[in-house]
Chains A and B, each alone.
Chain A
Amino acid sequence: MKEIHAGGIGARLPRKEDIPILRGEGRYFADISIAGQLHVMFLRSPHAHARILSIDVSAAEELPGVVAVVTGEMIRNEMLPLPQPSVGGGLPGRKPKFWPLAVEKVKFHGEPVAAVVAETPYLAEDALEAIFVEYEPLAYVGDMEAALDPSSPRVHEDWNDNEIFKSNFRATRSADDHAAHIEEAKRRVAEAPFVVRQRFRTHRCGITALEPRGALAVWDATEGITTWMTTQRPHLQRLSLAEVLKLPQAKVRVITPRDQGGGFGMKGSVYREPLLVAYLARHLRRPVRWLETREENLMAAGQGRDQIHDIELAADADGRLVALRDKIHTDAGDGCLGGTWGYAMPMVGGMRLPNAYILPFCDIQLRVAVTNKASLCPARGFGIFAPRFALERALDMLARKIGIEPAELLRKNFITTFPARLSTGLGYSSGDFVKTFDRLVELVDIPEFRRRQKEALSLGRYIGLGISTGVEVSGVDNLSYLTATGGPSYATVDLRVDPEGHVTVAYGDGPTGQGSQTTIAQVVAEELGIDPQNVTVLSGDTLTTTYSPGTVSGRGASMVLPAVALACRDLKKKIVRVIANDASIVAGDEEFSFADGYIIYGGNSNLRRSFAEVAHRIVIGAVDLPPGDTGGLEQRAVFEATRGNVCFSAHAAFVEVSPETGRVKITRYVTSDDAGVVINPLIVEGQIQGGVVQGISNFFFEEYVYNDEGQQMTSTLESYKIAKAPDVPRIEIYHDAGTPNPSNPLGTRGIGEGCIAPVPGALGNAISDALRPLGIEITDLPVRPGALFHKMNAALKQASTSAGN
């Protein structure tokens, strides 16, 4: 085993970013103020779907402290609507046109209709009540399947239907080949001895971050617009701001605060509000600030998942999967969300549906509808939470049909040859799914559990075990990313050494709590042999960093860290050249080692110079350098992925369901993950601990509820319930059966994004396993104790009646 250096790769180094936060000295968005700033509050639509007949802002304008009141009509000729090229991208579906404030009609409960700018937030909020809007309510479109019926009222009136996107995941097949492919899938399903046909529904929920959104913009006639913004993707925000404000990109600067209170996809989109804030700052020539309320956040941002899967999954007599068919429906809401337009998530989810399994014939049909709800938004797992629930549940049911342990069915069907390509076209670079899965199976001891389960049942107790897996593609090639997002995927870092040997790494993402200051420092420490405390990380400022896609898709470990390693390795070459030149020796790079703050020449241990001294020598004492070298010690590196870097996870959940209350207690939850080479186990385990708990929270608690009129009923954290400490178990995490990733120079894989996706399958399978004696299968999320209690009660009554007969 490789030796772990203090603070280097593999060390459980407590995070560098913690200390200021623990002192209360974090620098979050709400902590930033500019002298003279004005405050914006939004008036939001009380209707799900209504025509705006008139808006009277005159009374609001007269109130003390009010500087301006704007409506959609007032801004529609002042700024361009979305989509624009940077956020329209290469996405293959429709992109509805929208401005930051509703124009002509409102399309969901909570859509911004007007904005007040005032001297204080309190006064701005007062003025909202003095705006009078006359609405003509229109029919609410709220059901994703009904919305696709030609008779449905239309959400976007310039469209002839409500279908924003559809796909049959043809990959590179010709139309004829694909028709034959589908026929073959149908034939295989029709002829298979074992088939599961089932509808699975995953509700509307997401990962709302604890810190809401915000934007603070300052206009300067020379510099242009500077906007502090909560975002995972500052460079995307910059491009879109330039487009809608019709400014050169050089006149737009976006800065993410040093600390951001979580993102999870919710802060990855181009939203209405920051665009308007920037417009207002330019229009009013005053700094303008908007700090989102939780209510606004729950109404307008962060709603994810929301899919229906009608699955047919077939296996042969030996338990080998032969074909998968799935009709997927997704509710995109109004689809007015720059970047993903409410359908990039189900699109990616459909591509990834086959997961870790050999499924050469897939007939997957996706239809995405627009409705009168807030646009569907990225949420950790990016489109795969619902597909994983559906497929992993279907596999579990199929195993029961065949009469084998679900774990045996999964193991028989894992992809074992890499690189692999799914029938949907998606590529997997490497991994050893069987090895990582076997580790999980070894940890859970299925035969022993079956014995205990039988014993428990004889005592009237319902305990169950559920297993599921997930493959996450963390870090993809430029072409795939361009097609899916409109921007490339590569990671760029700029590394700079100061004369004391302190290293600064700058990159253009917007981290939201991933610990990247620490992991980047560890990679630098490993490569350059210095103390990780001598590394500073700068991110999120578009003026001082180059283009970067953002803190999304588990890119930190799989893309950014490899770029850091490459930069260090290039830098070392220069350092070695200078040392060799100074000592008048001819030596290869490999003859020097970098450790403990020194650079040591293997050929003569007397040749040993401190990193700091050499840094000073090159940055300040920049004379007599080797021919061709210049002063200064800086290096840029770009890492591009050649093919999808995958991260495999296997989860096992143990539950007990109470027949008295329907409550589900998770008695044990174990994961085995292939995170590749782990930079910091503390951080990897933290990601999984948190990701699994978010999955549990989505599964049991969280749900965005719209009533029959499209009123959003869950706009507080009292009604949108998030799991609390007593609701969740301690997750047992193992990453000792991973495999180094050969596709990047560090061997890393991105664990953060995908670790949530196996959770609904594991829990659904565990509860179904516990309740199998009662014939109850979990097919719809969320799972609530009340509904389970009634189902169990009915089944138990029926059982006692038939026993009585």
Chain B
Amino acid sequence: MNTSVSITINGIAYERSIPIRMLLVDFIRYEAGLTGTHVGCTFEGACGACTVHLDGDAIKSCLVLAVQCDGRWITMVEGLAEGSELHPLQIAFNEHHALQCGYCTSGLLMTGVDLIEKDSELNEEKVRHGITGNLCRCAGYSNIVDAILSVARARTREEEE
């Protein structure tokens, strides 16, 4: 059974007729053709590689049906950079060697940005617990934590100045 939806992804509205059982992550990958969001588990919300922002909150796009997102807006990894200018967290991931295979990275970026934007007093423990919904198999987490903290601290410094 199909239904019509309009979902705004990274500022562009995608109007599609889709099966009602279609997951948001499949809508993103196959209807919008955006492949930065990855799938690492069996749509069980365990790996976090598909994390996106739905109306500004980090969610796992494999745990949401596309029809639930009708009329709502989504930001995902392709929407983080402003043109050629990378988001500070993207730069920090590169500088801190926070990725190896990179498969978990888009999800961790979205979770990381969410943490930074919502908590102005992040510390290592908060970040480690904050990214507990995202699995990374290669990097061992510490460099990811460092990257997120470096951006959070730079932001705090900016606000103080």
For A32, the closest partner residue in chain B by CB is B35
Cβ-based interface call for A30 (8 A) = yes
Stretch at the interface among A14-22, A71-79, A197-205, A414-422: A14-22
Given contacts A17-B102, A209-B137, A210-B103, contact A295 B35 (CB under 8 A): no
Choose one: A122, A690, A722, A724; the contact of B21 (CB below 8 Å). A122
Bits for A190-233, please: 1 = Cβ < 8 Å to B, else 0: 00000000000000000111111000000000000000000000
For B133, the closest partner residue in chain A by CB is A724
- Residues of chain B within 8 A (CB-CB) of A17 are 102
**For the complex, what is the distance from the CA of A683 to the CA of B129, rounded to whole Å?**
25
**For the complex, what is the distance from the CA of A731 to the CA of B146, rounded to whole Å?**
13
B94 touches A261 (CB 8 A): no
B37 touches A24 (CB 8 A): yes
Cβ-based interface call for B12 (8 A) = no
B76 touches A24 (CB 8 A): yes
Choose one: A28, A264, A295, A725; the contact of B132 (CB below 8 Å). A725
- Residues of chain B within 8 A (CB-CB) of A207 are 137
Q: Using a CB-CB cutoff of 8 Å, which residues 56-107 of chain B contact chain A?
A: 76-78, 80-81, 86, 90, 93-95, 97, 99-106
B101 touches A262 (CB 8 A): yes
B99 touches A716 (CB 8 A): no
Cβ-based interface call for B145 (8 A) = yes
B102 touches A26 (CB 8 A): yes
A211 touches B46 (CB 8 A): no
Cβ-based interface call for B49 (8 A) = yes
A19 touches B41 (CB 8 A): no
Cβ-based interface call for A293 (8 A) = yes
Cβ-based interface call for A514 (8 A) = yes
B102 touches A513 (CB 8 A): yes
For A25, the closest partner residue in chain B by CB is B36
- Residues of chain B within 8 A (CB-CB) of A21 are 99, 102, 105
Cβ-based interface call for A488 (8 A) = no
Given contacts A18-B94, A22-B90, A686-B143, contact A211 B105 (CB under 8 A): no
In whole Å, how far is B87's beta carbon from the nearest beta carbon of chain A?
A: 9
- Residues of chain B within 8 A (CB-CB) of A596 are none
Given contacts A261-B38, A262-B103, A730-B142, contact A210 B94 (CB under 8 A): no
Cβ-based interface call for B144 (8 A) = yes
**For the complex, what is the distance from the CA of A211 to the CA of B99, rounded to whole Å?**
14
Q: Using a CB-CB cutoff of 8 Å, which residues 676-735 of chain A contact chain B?
A: 682-683, 685-686, 689-694, 716-718, 722, 724-726, 728-731
Choose one: A28, A513, A716, A728; the contact of B138 (CB below 8 Å). A513
- Residues of chain B within 8 A (CB-CB) of A261 are 38, 40, 101-103
In whole Å, how far is A797's beta carbon from the nearest beta carbon of chain B?
A: 34
In whole Å, how far is B153's beta carbon from the nearest beta carbon of chain A?
A: 17
Cβ-based interface call for A294 (8 A) = yes
In whole Å, how far is B58's beta carbon from the nearest beta carbon of chain A?
A: 15
A262 touches B140 (CB 8 A): no
For A514, the closest partner residue in chain B by CB is B100
Given contacts A294-B41, A513-B138, A726-B128, contact A22 B99 (CB under 8 A): yes
A513 touches B46 (CB 8 A): no
B103 touches A716 (CB 8 A): no
Looking at chain B's contact residues, is the secondary structure mostly helix, strand, loop, or mixed?
Answer: loop
- Residues of chain A within 8 A (CB-CB) of B44 are 294, 716-718
- Residues of chain B within 8 A (CB-CB) of A210 are 38, 40, 47, 49, 101, 103-104, 135-138
Given contacts A24-B36, A294-B41, A717-B46, contact A211 B103 (CB under 8 A): yes
**For the complex, what is the distance from the CA of A691 to the CA of B138, rounded to whole Å?**
7
Choose one: A18, A30, A293, A726; the contact of B35 (CB below 8 Å). A30
Cβ-based interface call for B39 (8 A) = yes
For A293, the closest partner residue in chain B by CB is B42
B86 touches A22 (CB 8 A): yes
B101 touches A24 (CB 8 A): no
Q: Using a CB-CB cutoff of 8 Å, which residues 1-60 of chain A contact chain B?
A: 14-15, 17-19, 21-26, 28, 30-31
A731 touches B36 (CB 8 A): no
Cβ-based interface call for A474 (8 A) = no
Cβ-based interface call for A515 (8 A) = yes
Given contacts A260-B101, A683-B97, contact A725 B141 (CB under 8 A): yes
Most B-side CB within 10 Å, residue of A30, A208, A295, A717: A717
- Residues of chain A within 8 A (CB-CB) of B139 are 686, 689-690
Q: Which 4 A-B pairs have the closest CB atoms?
A: A24-B36, A513-B101, A261-B103, A693-B140
Interface CB pairs A-B, < 8 A, 12: A15-B99, A22-B105, A22-B109, A24-B78, A208-B137, A210-B136, A261-B103, A513-B99, A513-B101, A717-B47, A724-B141, A726-B128
Beyond the given A18-B99, A26-B102, A210-B136, please list 7 additional residue pairs across the A-B interface where CB-CB is below 8 A. A23-B81, A210-B135, A211-B103, A294-B47, A514-B100, A724-B132, A725-B128
Interface residues of B (CB under 8 A from A): 19, 21, 29, 34-42, 44, 46-47, 49, 76-78, 80-81, 86, 90, 93-95, 97, 99-106, 109, 125, 127-129, 131-132, 134-145
